Structure 1
């Protein structure tokens, strides 16, 4: 859950530090007080799109920080953190995002710098935000299949994974077959190019790591004089009368003489003797190396020419000799495929036919499982909608087949395989008896959309494992007993996940476990800023009374507020 939130210099918020609890927390206050700004801050903290407009006027940057506590050891966020090398061993995730006045962001997770993409990826496992306009996502029929698969859980996932694995093979075969089926002229041009490339690589007769060895030899030859002079000086410093080796020999002889009378010096004498013979042997090696060294300008020219050839091939075919040779093997296989095109086409067609038959079986199995869960989902949503006073509503998961682009032909008919199966799924609904079922996107009433979305969220929140769910005025357009039902439903969601809810409905506010009042004030300097006040039981009554009555809170409105709170306690206990 979201435990702590810190906001600095964000919109009209100068500095704000909030603590959140489990269960349902409502945020209420006058319009424009800054309730949605707090939700905007959380949205940006988990990877939402930011801009310089969010930075408080006159400040250099806005700072957002949030602490999330994960109680489940198998939470998907912990797995993602492990994959990214982020330490989350204590089950605590600290997200940090700074937005500068020029619009650039710096993001951190548990102190580690990350990209916006990674922050968004991690944030998606922690927070799920639903606002007044998020119904548009619910209206997107392209996402209905994903919701159904999510509802189906592990059984759907297992069948879908098996299908996707085979679909990748099908897509690869389709692509290769299409490439081979191109016109003769294109194939001829391709074959000429590949043969030229193969001959160019083969003529070079490359050897593994040849370029590395040549570069080392080239470096040595370019510094021939320096190396020769250094070896010569080293040899002359050791060999000859009154030179290093001569002095070592004298030292060795004197120490051997002393060791005959003092056994403690024997070990030192042996060490010096061994060192002398090692240096003497090294001197002979230096002499041999000097005699061997000979500068050959022709060899240097040959190395330069060879490295030029290798460099030219690298620019064309790969960054290393290994890459070039690997590319050479690939084009050799492609040449064979083109030269024996007809037989390869037939082989691919036979293989594709076998894969299509197996893929058809797996897709039909996946469809059958989806339809089973579609029936369960329909029954569950119908039940949820009845509790939200939409008992006359009919809901259905409509299945149809989609046709993928560039499909292979099965007996002249395009195979209707997609990356997630053969199914196109769309939610249909009828809110009035006698009216035909229509796509969910055709529903016009905002109040109906709010209840449908809430019914779906009540169901899907149990399957998504999201730590915190945020509702931003999703109860717009409802009142009376429907408002009471929505409040109870939001509370029901909070049993499985922490819920933060911005609301203008007293029925929803009364269901809260924690109530925060958002207000704004003008400082002595004339600047507006937002403040947040946790409410006591007495203050809750006054705030809910204000929500009922408006500007003037009367004793009657307070009485009504007390009744709502008592009703909420009764509902929770049941």
Structure 2
């Protein structure tokens, strides 16, 4: 709810600080006292277009600050969270707007600068202002479907979920169709590429293996003569190994004659072991460096072809195997595309049918609720001197292209204000007082939950009195049991229903006129209601009548 309002240098208001409580608050005062300035000031804080004409004459700028105490689940906090501005839990929401005399304006939410667009969106969640020139709230057809759903206690989750599943199925089908269409255009290229890649059968890591083997074979060709010379020194009857073995056999017969000979034999045996190991490694080196001209040519040809295929398909050589699988899969999807598209089409059809069933159930619930709402509003019209008016809730089917998460329906509240007159949108009503009373009737009938936490009615009692004014006051009080409500009124019957009463007065020192607001105590309140009853001169009879009105409430 609106907790406080501070106004500085707005038109006739030099400095004004107001505090508000729950329930119904009445603002009264003589015509021209400045009640509209209060609404303009609050509208400025809520994002209405800034007008330099609001700046008090001689002041550099005007400023308005509004503080709101809101429950944790209020829509304003969700909106701020979307803009990464969520306040700390338990903090009030403070809005401040300034307008310079040259027309420039700035807006702040909890001391953080915000755009005018965000401020307007935020203001729409906080306060509803219903008056002659209001074109928001109940007058906006875009919100009528949601209001009817609240009245019907309709849970739209089933429709929204079914719509999401239908859209997902449609998107999957569209993507599959696009893939098949694109793939079909590339079919000839795919067939050639898959055949070529499959025949070549590249393997991951093959390039490195071929390059290493080719390098080894090329080295073998260069080292073959040297290795042959080394083998000649070691092998054969005249080679070093044969000489070592012959020497070891002879020394073995002599080793028992002296310890040194035994040690010499042991050293010779170790040399033979090392020489045998050297011979083994030379043999393995021969195998590693084995040079086969035909094999080398084949190896180089495959390596060059491998790299050529990689360049052709713009991938690394090691990725050719994966590319073969990918292109083969695309080709298979083309061949199986008809079956896949048929399956996805069936899923779309089933999802559409499920959405239609959920949306039709919601439409039926709306139609039943519309009949109840029409009857409830009709019951409120006569006491508010709108007995010639008729109200109806129009529900029309939307074209399929406009079906959405909320269903198949367009909903709009319409009225006919005179017998025989056609029904028209609420916003077409000409009389401001009539419009405010009609909105009051609709608000009471809807028993709306989840709307703005504060509502303001501007002269809802215009042009009526007596029993009608009492009926308006009774309905305002009833509505104020669910939400904070401020009413600007000229009716003593309405003012007497309020939980709190503020008097708006304009004073002049002969040079400058100023507007002020005074919260009335019990005695002052009786005096003000007596003034509203009697006019310029307050009589004892008017005071007695004011006391009766207050006592009856």
TM-score normalised by L of structure 1: 0.61
Kept in 1: contact 2:96–2:108 (CA 8 A): yes
User: Is the Cα contact below 8 Å between 2:458 and 2:489 reproduced in 1?
Assistant: yes
| Structure-1 residue corresponding to 2:31 | 31
- Residue number among 355, 358, 364 corresponding to 1:359 in the alignment: 355
Q: Which of 459, 465, 486 is the matching residue for 1:473?
A: 459
Query: Offset at 1:59?
Result: 2.0
Q: Deviations over 1:179-225 (max 9, x none)?
A: 99xxx9xx9xx99xxxxxxxxxxxxxxxxxxxxxxxxxxxxxxxxxx
* Cα offset, 1:451, TM superposition: 2.8
User: Aligned to 1:483, which of 446, 469, 472?
Assistant: 469
- Counterpart of 2:514 in structure 1 is 529
User: Per-residue deviation at 1:455?
Assistant: 1.7
Structure showing greater radius of gyration is 2
Cα–Cα, structure 1 residues 22 and 136, in superposed 2: closer, same or farther, change >3 Å?
closer
CA apart distance, 1:489 = 0.7
SS in 2 for 1:469: strand
User: Residue 288 of structure 1 aligns with which residue?
Assistant: none
Q: 1:559 aligns with which of 525, 538, 544?
A: 544
Aligned pair in 2 of structure 1 residues 82, 403: CA closer, same or farther (>3 Å)? Answer: closer
- The answer (yes or no) to whether the contact 1:428–1:440 under 8 Å persists in 2 is yes
- Secondary structure of 2:156's counterpart equals helix
Instruction: Give 1:45's aligned residue.
Output: 45
1:403-440: CA deviations, max 9, x gaps? 25xx4xxxxxxxx735632112233556778x698345
Give the C-alpha shift of residue 481 in structure 1.
Answer: 0.8
User: Matched residue of 1:132: which SS?
Assistant: coil
User: CA shift at 1:556, angstroms?
Assistant: 2.9
Structure 1, 497-506 or 463-472: larger mean CA deviation: 463-472
Query: Match of 2:93, SS?
Result: strand
**Which of 522, 527, 535 lines up with 1:550 in the alignment?**
535
Task: Give the paired residue count.
Answer: 408
Cα distance change of structure 1 residues 370 and 166 upon mapping to structure 2, 3 Å threshold: farther
Distance 1:371 1:546, change over 3 A: same
1:150 to partner: Cα distance? 3.4
Give the Å deviation of 1:495: 1.2
Q: Secondary structure at 1:491's aligned position in 2? A: helix
Q: State the Cα deviation string for residues 255-308 of structure 1 (Å, max 9, x = none).
A: xxxxxxxxxxxxxxxxxxxxxxxxxxxxxxxxxxxxxxxxxxxxxxxxxxxxxx
Q: How many Å apart are 1:487 and its aligned residue?
A: 0.9
Q: Which runs of 5+ in 1 are unaligned?
A: 192-331, 408-415, 570-574
Deviation at residue 28 of structure 1 after TM alignment: 0.9
2:546, 2:94 → 1: CA distance? Answer: 38
Q: Is the 8 A contact 2:501 2:525 kept in 1?
A: yes
For 1:556 and 1:64, locate their aligned partners in 2 and report how far apart those are by CA, in whole Å.
Answer: 41
Match of 1:551, SS?
coil
Q: CA deviation at 1:484?
A: 0.8
- RMSD of equivalent CA atoms: 3.9
Q: Name the CA distance, whole Å, in 2 between partners of 1:178 and 1:459.
A: 51
Find the aligned partners of 1:551 and 1:69 in 2 and give their Cα distance: 39
Superposed CA offset, 1:15-38 (max 9, x none): 111112222111111222111211
How far did 1:111 drift?
2.2
Q: Which residue of 2 aligns with 1:541?
A: 526
Q: Describe the shift of the 1:394–1:541 C-alpha distance in structure 2 as closer, same or farther (beyond 3 A).
A: same
Find the aligned partners of 2:28 and 2:170 in 1 and give their Cα distance: 53
Distance 2:101 2:461 in 1: 35
Equivalent residues of 1:56, 1:62 under 8 A apart: yes
Tell me which residue corresponds to 1:400: 396
Helix, strand or coil: the match of 1:427?
strand
- In the alignment, which residue of structure 2 is the partner of 1:195? none
CA displacement at 1:81 relative to structure 2:
4.0
Counterparts of 2:425 and 2:121 in 1: how far apart (Å)?
Answer: 28
CA contact (8 A) 1:9 1:59 kept: yes
Shift of 1:514: 1.3
Q: 1:506 to 1:397 in 2, by over 3 A?
A: same
CA distance in 2, matches of 1:527, 1:538: 30
Question: SS where residue 26 of structure 1 aligns?
Answer: strand
| Contact 2:169–2:347, Cα closer than 8 Å, also in 1 | no
CA contact (8 A) 2:132 2:435 kept: no
Which of 467, 480, 494 pairs up with 1:508? Answer: 494
Tell me, in whole angstroms, the C-alpha distance in 2 between the residues paired with 1:451 and 1:175.
51
Hey, what's the Cα distance between the residues in 2 that align with 1:472 and 1:445? 13
Matched-pair contact (CA < 8 Å) for 2:164–2:405:
no
SS of match in other structure, 1:30: coil
Partner of residue 422 from structure 1, selected from 384, 399, 408: 408
Contact in 1 for aligned 2:506/2:514 (Cα 8 Å): yes
| Matches of 2:417 and 2:466, distance apart in 1 | 19
- Superposition TM-score, scaled by structure 2 size: 0.63
Q: What are the ranges of 5 or more consecutive residues in structure 2 without an aligned counterpart?
A: 187-326
Aligned to 1:159: 158
| 1:491 Cα offset (Å) | 1.1
Q: How far did residue 108 of structure 1 move?
A: 2.0
Shift of 1:381: 2.8
Counterpart Cα distance in 2 of 1:492 and 1:66? 25
Quote the Cα distance in structure 1 between the aligned partners of 2:473 and 2:503: 18
8 Å CA contact retained: 2:156, 2:406: no
* Equivalent residues in 2 for 1:42-441, closer than 5 Å: 42-70=42-70, 72-83=71-82, 84-134=84-134, 138-153=138-153, 155-166=154-165, 168-169=167-168, 352-385=348-381, 388=384, 395-404=391-400, 407=401, 417-418=403-404, 420-429=406-415, 438-439=423-424, 441=426
